[in-house]
Chains A and B, each alone.
Chain A
Amino acid sequence: MKLKRPYRYILIVILLTGLAGLITGIYFYNLRDKDLLKEKPDFLISAEELQKEFESDENASNIKFVNKIIEVTGVISSLEKGENNSMNIALSTANSMSSVICTITAETDASGLVSGQTVTLRGECSGFLMDVLLNNCVLIRK
C-alpha cells in the first residue's frame, strides 16, 4: 500500500507519538523509589527535636514533615532486624518510650553500627505512631 506523502508523515507522527506514550508509560510503571543519597533533604533536624515536634502537635507535624525528606541526627538506641532483610535503627529522644525509627534500604550497609553511636540518616517521613517513622533511609554519616 502506497500512501501520499503528507499522509505518510501523519502516520509516522502518530506512530511515534504512540511509541513515546508507551515508553513513558512503561517508564513510570517501572519507576523505583527515589535514591535518597541523590536527593536534597527538606529538613535537617535532630532526633530529639523531630520527636518533640510530633509529640507536641501531631497534626501540624504531619502536614510539615510527612512525605518530606528528613536528615536526622541522633544516638542509636537499638538496631532491630526485620522481615526481608530489613533493619530498623531507632534514635533516642528525650522521651524514653518514643524514638525516631528509621527503616534503612536493603542497599544500605549498617554493619559496624552499634547502640550508643551518633549517626545521621536521611529518610522519607511516614508519620507518627508511638515513634516518628522514617522510610527508605540511607546512611549519611557515622
Chain B
Amino acid sequence: MCMRLLNLEFLQRAGADLPTEIVEHLEKTRPAPTPPAHCRILKGRRDNIHDVVDFGRACDISPETICWELIQYSRLSLPPERRLPENPAILPALLVELLTILEILVLAFLESGVYNIYRARCTGARLFRNQTCRNDCVWIQAGGENMYGALRGRLLARLISLFKIR
C-alpha cells in the first residue's frame, strides 16, 4: 500500500530496541530534520520518448490535443518567464521525459516527522507486471477550501501520464 519513512525519534518513542552502533550511525548520518512538506519525486523514466510528438504517440493522444492542453496550462498556471513557446513549429519539438512513478510524501496521521511514501503509478496504455495497465487515481488540489463541497477544494483524477518538459 505505502512505505513509511520513520525517524530516530519515532523509533525510540515506539520502544524500538536498537543496537548502540546503529543509533550512533543514524545520529551521524541524520539528514535534514524533516523532508519538505510537499516533496514529490518522479521515477521510472521511459526510454524512446524524445519530444512532444513521441509523448503523444506513447499516450495514444493526438499531438494537436497535447499541444493545445500544454498551451492552456502554460497560459493559466505558469509565470510569464517560464511559459512554453506557442509556436506550432517549436512546441512539438520540445524535449519530453516520460515517467511512470510519482512518490509523494504524506505526513502520517497524528504524527510529526513521520511520513508515508505513497507511490502513484501510471503506465499509460502499457501493461503493469504483465496484467492490465495501471493508472492510479489521485487527489488534486484544484481550488480553495470553499469549493467542491465536502472535498474542500480537492478533486479526483486518473493519471494518464507523468512527464517533464525540458
Say if A and B assemble together: no
Q: Could you list which residues of chain B lie within 8 angstroms of chain A, going by C-beta atoms?
A: none
